[in-house]
Amino acid sequence: MLGMDLPERARVVVVGGGVIGTSVAYHLAKMGVPDVLLLERNRLTAGTTWHAAGLMVTFGSLSETSTRLRQYTRDLYAGLEAETGLSTGLRQCGFIELAADEGRLEEYRRVAAFNRHLGVDVHEISPAEVRTLFPLARTDDVLAGFYVAEDGRANPVDVTMSLAKGARQRGVRIIEGVPVTGTLRKGGTVTGVRTPFGDVEAEIVVNCAGMWARQLGEEAGVSIPLQAAEHYYLITEPIDGVSADLPVLEDPGAYGYFREETGGLMVGLFEGAAAPWSVERVPDDFAFGTLPPDWDRMAPYLEAAMARIPVTATAGVRTFFCGPESFTPDLAPIFGESPELRNYFVAAGMNSIGILTGGGIGRALAAWIATGRPDVDVTGMNIDRLQPYQRNRAYRASRTVEALGQVYATHFPSRAFSSARGARRSPLHSVLSDLRPYWRDVSGWEMPDFYDFSGNFALSWGKPDWFGQWAAEHRAAREDAVLMDMSFMAKFLVQGRDAAAALEELSANRVAVPGRVTYTQWLNEGGTIEADLTVTQLDEDRFWVVASDTAHRHAFTRLTRHLDGRHAFAADVTSGWAQINLQGPRSREILAAAADAEITLPFRGAAELEIGFARVLCLRITYVGELGYELYVPAEQAVHVHERLVAAGAGHGLRHAGLKALASLRMEKGYRDYGHDIDNTDDVLEAGLGFAVALDKGDFIGREAVLARKARGPLTRRLVQVLVTDPKALMYHGEVVRRDGRDVGYVRAASYGHTLGGAVGLAMLDAGPQPLDQAWLDAAPLTVEIAGATYPARASLRPLYDPTSERVRV
């Protein structure tokens, strides 16, 4: 259907006819959303879908969301032909991931246990078994392979056409040859799209424009930080022994993947240092084009890949291919409703996994649109996790060089991006530099991870070189006192005569309590968590709201949209205020010396203090489980206040502590962290946060859902603290927990408990039909699987460190 047949209105307009756009349209129709229109600027599959490699792999992710999206996608492709009559080209020929070094072997053993827990039938196989399954592979240096028989490959064009036919059969209008050139909006809400053939009114617009998504978003005032980069593969002439049933083989250590293609082999590459393409602007007329390859740059990577399959070095080459793929700053998709514009959704930036997650991404976004909220954990891929400056040309040009290479990197727990750094710096950055910190990227902020860094930073799954520094900072918080620069935390000032009422509606806890800090959650109508933060009433109509860095834009968007039409106003004051945390049993005497005044602030109290020449907002609250204070200081006075605190701490054991210590301290106390161990799918009661819900205060968003959950009886699924009793074991994320030999959940986040003497984490466990209480946890042995080994563990519903919180309230 050509552009001349354009309707004047639709309920939903999907922009982009690749695998993602057609999947979104198909699933919207399948869920009963009427009047869906898909507009494609050229023809279906134009851009990047048509030349995708088509791998269909469920193995490899430590994200439950990503793994579930992959599983759903594979099952969808397997059954779509029966519905549409068009094959998706799915061939479940098997998939093998190679580990040729110890770091990858440990990573894949950790991933394999997690994936098996979620139902992926992955097996660790020997080098000899790899050779049996893929006889052309050289395996003399291989330590192990990880094999999934049900994985394989699909045909990207066939997948897209089948999804498009399924969408049409369910009433979706798909029109090719219609570029969307603009977005219509009114009062912060999208109202339609503009095309050369006329405007189309719409209630909802979905940007699935692939590598053009950033440009389309900029026109609408929506930030979508993605960048196209060159992506390479070659296809050999036919090779003896290669058939369509040959498994897909990935060898990340050699930068390559291999699959059959018309009797030969496709040799695909993810090089260590990539080349961004068209940083200024992706050409509007680019559709089914290719890019001029730079084989001189790629030769070392190609040689490494071909060494794994030696016959490829002598086989004739039928096709050298270079085409664009789009990548995001953190290699996660850009997904969800934009914070800048209501009802403007985005699904783009697939980082070369658009085919293997396309079905799941389309289903998840369609569910969000159809029901009003997502039904999977989106915290790691929500568009609002990203900052507008990340779409700057300089940022994209720098980060993309590294990002593509990270696809095949070993994902050690302390690995971090080194490119596009230094964008956001605390007012204390220069002062803290003298203490030799190891700087960590925290949502773009440069923050100390630990101090006294020697310059040695070997990536490892074991105890790192700086374990001693970390332990010393942790102990100082427990025994004396520490200073932590927490300026990266999101800070909002909410004012107006309706501020109290609005915040009470948003918050599950009672927050309108003068001079008090309240820990609370913001829930959605389903009673699951949208934000985890503190609210402090400073005055009758003035409140201070503090959220984590990862929830910054998400919380602020939820806040400002809730304030619409009220006499209440929110200002994001994050950059204007430093946050210095003084924590530990000696913090009161240090603060008293710095302020030259007696400190009588009760737990959860708030007051303004004089420290030297500065007036400081002081909140007595902790995230480490000790007596402590959060000090909010005007940015221009932060260095002055820091100097006073350091001077006051001399002789009191005060030392600086970084984010590694913060993580281990909070984990010992079982404090939650939104986006890591709790997310938007978690019931506030199952998350163990019922103590922060004031059901008797009156109505608030999610109250009815919480009451309904309580009425259903005892909880059978709960977030619990898990401690591995062997001090040598280390947990990070995704470790499977078993009770009496049966899988009951996995660790969502973990650290090392230097006080508890072992790795400690928070795990969501499921007791099945039984109530999950402490008696159930204690009634049978618990174990945790870590990289193929099993370790005894114990679990608790109460904090393992200071369960009665006496140290916090002293």
CATH number for the domain including 800? Answer: 2.40.30.110
Give the type of residue at 455.
Answer: G
Determine whether 430 is exposed, middle or buried from the number of CB atoms within 10 Å of its CB (0-12, 13-18, 19+).
exposed
67 and 158 belong to one structural domain:
yes
Query: CB–CB of 48/324 below 8 Å?
Result: yes
Output DSSP code: residue 727: T
621 and 666 belong to one structural domain:
yes
Query: CB–CB of 396/419 below 8 Å?
Result: no
Which of 713, 734, 769 is where one domain is finished?
713
- What end-to-end distance do the CA atoms of the chain give, in Å? 72
Output DSSP code: residue 414: T
Whether 315 is in a domain gets the answer no
For residue 471, the surrounding DSSP H or E stretch is: helix 467-479
pLDDT at position 347 is 98
Whether 267 is in a domain gets the answer no
* Cα(83)–Cα(376) distance, integer angstroms: 26
Summarize pLDDT for 6-43 with one digit per residue, the tens.
Answer: 999 999 999 999 999 999 999 999 999 999 999 999 99
Count of domains for the chain: 3
* Cα(41)–Cα(21) distance, integer angstroms: 12
610 and 676 belong to one structural domain:
yes
Distance of CA 279 to the CA centre of its chain: 25
Strand-pairing partners, residue 517, are 536
Q: By percentage, how much of the chain surpasses pLDDT 90?
A: 99
Tokens found for residue 67: 């793994």
Whether 480 is in a domain gets the answer yes
Which of 668, 696, 713 is where one domain is finished?
713
Give the type of residue at 785.
Answer: E
604 and 685 belong to one structural domain:
yes
720 and 686 belong to one structural domain:
no
Whether 193 is in a domain gets the answer yes
Give the type of residue at 650.
Answer: A
Whether 289 is in a domain gets the answer no
Strands across the sheet containing 606-611:
606-611, 614-619, 628-634, 577-583, 481-485, 654-656
Summarize pLDDT for 68-119 with one digit per residue, the tens.
Answer: 999 999 999 999 999 999 999 999 999 999 999 999 999 999 999 999 999 9
Distance of CA 105 to the CA centre of its chain: 24
For residue 392, give every residue at least 6 positions away whose Cβ sits within 8 Å of its Cβ, in sequence order, or none.
none
Question: Residues of the chain whose pLDDT is less than 50?
Answer: 1-3
3-state secondary structure 667-679: HHHCCCCECCCEC
For residue 325, the surrounding DSSP H or E stretch is: strand 317-327
528 and 633 belong to one structural domain:
yes
Place of tokens 């200071």: 802
729 and 695 belong to one structural domain:
no
pLDDT at position 455 is 87
The torsion of the CA quartet 310, 311, 314, 317, rounded to 10 degrees, works out to: -110
* Cα(772)–Cα(768) distance, integer angstroms: 8
Which of 713, 728, 755 is where one domain is finished?
713
Q: What is the pTM of this model?
A: 0.97
CATH number of the domain encompassing residue 681: 3.30.1360.120
635 and 698 belong to one structural domain:
yes
Beta strand ranges found along 470-528 (DSSP E):
481-485, 490-495, 517-523
| Phi-psi region at 82: left, alpha or beta (left = phi > 0; alpha = psi -120 to 50) | alpha
Query: CB–CB of 419/397 below 8 Å?
Result: no
Whether 311 is in a domain gets the answer no
CATH number of the domain encompassing residue 66: 3.50.50.60
DSSP, collapsed to helix, strand or coil, labels residue 391 as helix
Helices (H) and strands (E) in the chain, counts: 19, 38
Give the type of residue at 395.
Answer: Y
For residue 33, give every residue at least 6 positions away whose Cβ sits within 8 Å of its Cβ, in sequence order, or none.
11, 12, 366, 369, 370
675 and 787 belong to one structural domain:
no
620 and 503 belong to one structural domain:
yes
For residue 116, the surrounding DSSP H or E stretch is: helix 102-117
Summarize pLDDT for 37-61 with one digit per residue, the tens.
Answer: 999 999 999 999 999 999 999 999 9
pLDDT at position 1 is 45
Whether 63 is in a domain gets the answer yes
Give the type of residue at 769.
Answer: P
700 and 720 belong to one structural domain:
no
Domain that holds residue 562: 421-713
pLDDT at position 4 is 61
For residue 164, give every residue at least 6 positions away whose Cβ sits within 8 Å of its Cβ, in sequence order, or none.
17, 22, 25, 26, 38, 44, 174
Tokens found for residue 514: 């003068």
* Cα(141)–Cα(271) distance, integer angstroms: 20
pLDDT at position 2 is 46
Whether 440 is in a domain gets the answer yes
> Helices marked H in 118-189 — which ranges?
127-133, 156-169
371 and 480 belong to one structural domain:
no
